[in-house]
Amino acid sequence: MRLRLAGAVLLSAAAYYVYLPLPSGVSEPWKLMLLDALFRSFMQASDVAHTLGVCHRVHLLNRIVSWVEEIEARSCTAVHVADSTLGGVPTRVFQPKGGKQLKRGVIYFHGGGWVLGTNTALAFNPASKYYYHDALAASRAFLSAQVLERYSIDPERVCVSGDSAGGNLAAAVAQELSSDDSLTAKFKVQALIYPVLQALDFYTPSYQQNRAVPILYRPVMARFWLQYLGADMSLEPLLLANNHSSLDQPAISGSTRSKLDWTALLPAERKKHFRPVVKETGSPGVMGKVPQLMDVRAAPLLAEQGVLGRTPKAYVMTCEFDVLRDDGLMYVRRLQSAGVAVTSDHYEDGFHGCMVFAYLPMMSSVGQRSMNNYIHWLDQNL
């Protein structure tokens, strides 16, 4: 009897930890709850290690995530898989076997808040350079005649792509290289999967609506930004209050604010009942401490119209239950206004990171649909 009682108590505690109230429209919510419980456990373990002085929370979290997700390079009968480098950046190459025709090529930057995953295992340093520079170096190498020839890639059929923070890198790289006339090969298309594109407004409708929806919570996104930019982590509450983008910040012009004015850039069905949160007075000096918040290499949504107009045809995936939804939708609108052909692929039952649910053990309907539609778009447009 005592064993059964103890088991019931443990089961109840586990269910309490895993269960999280979610919006009714989320696809297969229990699978998202399980993933969220796992990720929360990782985050909490990393925070404890950091507090005890064992190691930096990002180092431990990155080790855990890499241990769970990273697998060795394995080839199969159809594809040769190998680890290599591009521009000095560690890269995994997937190369179809056989065939004499030139192939299409995609360079893909994975997500993880710029701090999780194999690309950050190199050395996390709060004062380090943008990973943008690594992404740019890898992309330049990818577009070089030597690499294109080595892998039999058609120079007129290449794509830059990425998800979440990787989508941020892909968008920034697309902007930079589309304006570089010294390149003999350029990207034909860009494909951005729920990208993060700005850090001046943490009160867009999607940030307000989805602040408590896993797996990307609003405070976690602010923390990721500060870690990426090498800024003081104590600034997190100021970012979450929009104190850093208050009207008394002289560094932020009216022109800059218009580039992320969601009241003008979002369709009515996304604005809903939400209202802008713009402080008259905020925290003086924040922008001086973190000037990178205004750097288009970190925040591609802030790019000038002329720069956007030179970027390639775009695919932008967004999810209803994602704090980053409006970053992507505003970018769609700005690209279209600049004359760029854009496919906006929105999932009403989707959530941040849903495309990883395309395969077992956490396969879901929205995961399969999003992955299939992404691949279909590439197949039709690249």
Q: Which residues contact 295 (CB under 8 A, 6 or more apart)?
A: none
- Token pair of 334 as six digits: 């700005």
Active site residue 322: yes
Active-site residue, selected from the candidate residues 36, 134, 322, 349: 322
Active-site residue, selected from the candidate residues 161, 164, 245, 370: 164
Other Cβ atoms within 10 Å of 38 Cβ, number: 15
Active site residue 164: yes
Closest listed residue to residue 300, CA positions, set 208, 177, 155: 177
Q: Are 335 and 308 in contact (CB under 8 A)?
A: yes
- Strand, coil or helix: what is 160? strand
Q: Which strand (E) or helix (H) includes residue 317?
A: strand 313-321
Active-site residue, selected from the candidate residues 163, 352, 364, 370: 352
What is the distance between the alpha carbons of residues 303 and 300, in angstroms, rounded to a whole number? Answer: 6
The CA-atom distances, in angstroms, between 27 and each of 269, 315, 364, 369, 371 are 20, 22, 8, 11, 15
Other Cβ atoms within 10 Å of 121 Cβ, number: 15
Task: Give CA angle at 309 (306, 311), nearest 5°.
Answer: 120
The CA-atom distances, in angstroms, between 33 and each of 17, 27, 30, 51, 102 are 9, 11, 5, 26, 44
Q: Are 272 and 149 in contact (CB under 8 A)?
A: no
Active site residue 182: no
Closest listed residue to residue 180, CA positions, set 144, 150, 149, 148: 144
Which positions are annotated as active-site residues? 164, 322, 352
